[in-house]
Copies of this chain bind each other. A is one copy, B any other.
């Protein structure tokens, strides 16, 4: 299931707390892009049409909830980026992790640990 950039933002807000109303979702988004209420509703409707969010009515108001797993969704998005953008090369990813200072010390250590672990297990040469 392919999501657009704006849709990812909605999904990310929704994954943080659900079920949620459109209004709540707007509040939940850190990056306040100043979307009109109906803009968010439109996107929710589209997401529901795609089957990635569920919509449930209580009284007059719709409550939304994700129907897809966050990490699988992210994984497949990464998969696509990896193939299309990075052309299957890992170097840019490693550089990104390391040089763009996205890693805290803790994360760095965790990553090293994971790498050692996977090395030990001899996964894929």
Contacts and interface: CB of A to CB of B under 8 A. Distances in A.
A49 interface: no
A98 B81 contact: no
Interface size range of chain A in the complex? 35 or more
B104 A124 contact: yes
A124 B98 contact: no
A45 interface: no
12 contacts: A9-B84, A78-B81, A78-B100, A97-B97, A98-B115, A99-B118, A101-B124, A103-B124, A108-B119, A109-B119, A112-B112, A112-B115
Given A78-B96, A94-B97, 11 more contacts: A12-B84, A71-B92, A74-B85, A75-B92, A82-B96, A90-B103, A90-B107, A94-B107, A99-B118, A111-B115, A115-B115
